[in-house]
Amino acid sequence: MRLLFLCSRNQWRSPTAEAVYQNDPRVEVRSAGVSASAKRRVTEKLLLWADQVLVMEHEHKQRLREQFPDLFHDLHVEVLDIPDDYPFMDPELVTLIRSRVEPLLG
């Protein structure tokens, strides 16, 4: 399964999620941001690559809907509800990511 993790600027949350799952044999992972100032910005190619798009907040899902209106209806988007309160690889952030993603991996 291919997972694409998205946050705003691809600085803390989505790169942490990518790092947490990068060596997991169940999945392939990438991360990006929905903001124009993102380190790695989400693209149509990335969205088409993903089996599931995991966004950190409802706002990110809305931005996808606005930025990729023709593609959005074909995406499998899940909102993880993880606020922008943690630095990269913060143990609490890692725990939150795992608790939200594991049920989706079935």
Q: Write the pLDDT tens digit of every residue in 64-93.
A: 999 999 999 999 999 999 999 999 999 999
Count of H-run helices and E-run strands, the chain:
5, 4
Torsion angle defined by CA atoms of residues 81, 100, 23 and 71, in that order, rounded to the nearest 10 degrees: -60
Structural domains present in the chain: 2-101 (3.40.50.2300)
Q: Write the pLDDT tens digit of every residue in 20-60.
A: 999 999 999 999 999 999 999 999 999 999 999 999 999 99
CA distances to 24, 78, 84, 105 from 51, rounded to whole Å, are 16, 11, 24, 11
